[in-house]
Structure 1
């Protein structure tokens, strides 16, 4: 039976002590509310449905996210850590002051709709600039995992994970942006002229191998086997290691990179940046100069990841089988592989003409 007492401030405090459960205390403005809560809570204990909601009601979303970023995020890969810290910013802006227990499916749906409509971001003319569907999907994925961890590991008395009851934005169509001959000539010429030769090597290696930028810039000397003409990737996006064969051109590029006179003996990275405050060299960060160069070349909408798309499409056009392309690119399923392969219609015309000639 609950004990209900009046406090010196005039409120009513309900205290429930029941064998097998922690002592539960809650304060109310009205005595009736304290009695109702006590009956409901004791009933939940009897039926085995009791949840200790106090911690979740006191913990704000902002503090919960701070704990998640401190305890959970560091166990993920560096690229994922960076992404989660960026996605936490808009989530904190919207949910930060709410108690964790106060985040409902309705609130999550409001967040989704506002982000997709771009209501939180305006351009110079005051017009809303919508967020990409995939951006919002990744933010909801982080939000959902935070609640999963809070439920399963932190022992917070949450009734459910509100993100599970919310529709995720439909994924957009896969990008099929490819370089035309003129764009490729201008872009590669600009890359070749850059003062740091590492940019040239990185961009051209991406076209030749289909490797992601993160896979290229984190390469260590021990991962490149020039005798067998292969690169062994240990950490990849899908977590599975793979071995990438090198074309003649890719082999030549790696030979140049390995012979880089700017590398000191204590640097194991193939593509390295300037020493940091701690005197350590980290992977070469070429994003800023890449953005400038592609704008100057007249293809500002071209992304570095599109080079992977370009490479994989060229593998297919060269006649490699799906299995062979998958072995090089690391795609787990043929469905995912199809999103990155985009055959040029003009190349297919020539093949159709050959078929027609045979038929005649």
Structure 2
């Protein structure tokens, strides 16, 4: 049987001691609440389904996210680590004061709707941004349930609708934009900027894949780059065009290359004297803004390269082998063909036979 004790503060302390279970204590404002809780708890113990929820009731989402970022996030790729740190800020801002036990599907749904209506530099927060934030929150609950033993019984994120991911970006480079971009990049004081932009357009490689590239991964004689560490953890080999091969040869023959790094595109030594990949994001932002293309993202160059491979006549499987996409659905989100470029091809296919 449970024991009930009135405290000096006027609240009621319920204490349950049952053989085979740890002693449980909980404080309530009125005695009836304490009795109801004790009755439910003892019943769950009798049926062998009791779960100690005290830790989940005491642990706020802010505290849980801090633990997640310290224990789980460091096991992921650097780009993912930076992304999760950024996404966690919105979760803490809106839900940080809630205990994990108090976060229910309706609260998560309210968070979803609030974020989708929240203004940002591009208008309102995108569907995909909110989807990724919810994915982080969902994985936190999964870890808390399976590994942390906080007494959670379910993942509330799994019970709500996720925002539609949308159609993806369809930003393509015009011929004039490409000429301006390449001229400005090659005119920059550091030649690595021009080389990186060229490699992006010629290969469809991600920014992180280009900047982390090492000399040992480049085979100029066979004209192939071999990537072992990719976003989706699947190694792939990338065939090089003549332009990409010439560009990489120029980069590898860089006369100012230091002997203390194997990176193709290297930065200055840090405070720890270690060289890291060339950081060009700030330069890129200034460059595209000065050229009147503020909406152009570096990742759009990957979209452009992949679309050109399809336009060149390569089949989906060959393009996916180069780009690293695991599904045709995701590849199609990256591929955007210009209707104008298809007109002449359409004419050839539909021309009357003589």
1:23 is matched with 23
Counterparts of 1:180-199 in structure 2, within 5 Å, are 180-199=174-193
Q: Please tell me whether residue 290 in structure 1 is matched to residue 284 in structure 2.
A: yes
2:248 is matched with 254
Q: Return the alpha-carbon distance in structure 1 between the equivalents of residues 351 and 161 of structure 2.
A: 52
**Contact between 1:134 and 1:171, CA under 8 Å: does it hold in 2?**
yes
Structure 1, unpaired ranges of 5+: none
* Secondary structure of the corresponding residue to residue 341 of structure 2: helix
**Contact between 1:15 and 1:23, CA under 8 Å: does it hold in 2?**
yes
Q: CA RMSD in A?
A: 1.6
Q: Return the alpha-carbon distance in structure 2 between the equivalents of residues 56 and 205 of structure 1.
A: 49
1:64 is matched with 64
**Contact between 1:183 and 1:298, CA under 8 Å: does it hold in 2?**
no
Q: Return the alpha-carbon distance in structure 1 between the equivalents of residues 60 and 137 of structure 2.
A: 14
1:210 is matched with 204
Pairing partner for 1:277 from 271, 276, 279: 271
Tell me the matched-pair count: 354
Cα deviation for residue 45 of structure 1 reads 1.1
* Secondary structure of the corresponding residue to residue 244 of structure 1: strand
Q: Return the alpha-carbon distance in structure 2 between the equivalents of residues 141 and 230 of structure 1.
A: 35
Pairing partner for 2:156 from 158, 162, 169: 162
Q: Please tell me whether residue 351 in structure 1 is matched to residue 345 in structure 2.
A: yes
Q: Return the alpha-carbon distance in structure 1 between the equivalents of residues 57 and 186 of structure 2.
A: 58
Cα deviation for residue 5 of structure 1 reads 2.2
* Secondary structure of the corresponding residue to residue 26 of structure 2: strand
Cα deviation for residue 357 of structure 1 reads 4.5
Cα deviation for residue 358 of structure 1 reads 6.7
Q: Return the alpha-carbon distance in structure 2 between the equivalents of residues 141 and 19 of structure 1.
A: 40
**Contact between 1:177 and 1:306, CA under 8 Å: does it hold in 2?**
yes
* Secondary structure of the corresponding residue to residue 359 of structure 1: coil
2:216 is matched with 222
Q: Return the alpha-carbon distance in structure 2 between the equivalents of residues 256 and 302 of structure 1.
A: 26
Pairing partner for 2:330 from 326, 329, 336: 336
1:104 is matched with 104
Q: Return the alpha-carbon distance in structure 2 between the equivalents of residues 228 and 21 of structure 1.
A: 67
Q: Return the alpha-carbon distance in structure 2 between the equivalents of residues 105 and 198 of structure 1.
A: 49
Cα deviation for residue 276 of structure 1 reads 1.2
1:132 is matched with 126
* Secondary structure of the corresponding residue to residue 232 of structure 1: strand
1:50 is matched with 50
Q: Please tell me whether residue 265 in structure 1 is matched to residue 254 in structure 2.
A: no
Instruction: Detail structure 1 runs of 4+ shifted over 4 Å in the superposition.
Output: none
Cα deviation for residue 280 of structure 1 reads 1.0
Q: Return the alpha-carbon distance in structure 2 between the equivalents of residues 347 and 98 of structure 1.
A: 54
* Secondary structure of the corresponding residue to residue 269 of structure 1: coil
Q: Return the alpha-carbon distance in structure 2 between the equivalents of residues 29 and 178 of structure 1.
A: 63
Report the TM-score when normalising by structure 1: 0.94
1:146-177 Cα distance to aligned partner (Å, 9 max, x none): 11111111111123211111111111112221
Cα deviation for residue 356 of structure 1 reads 4.1
Cα deviation for residue 96 of structure 1 reads 1.3
* Secondary structure of the corresponding residue to residue 153 of structure 1: helix
Q: Please tell me whether residue 147 in structure 1 is matched to residue 141 in structure 2.
A: yes
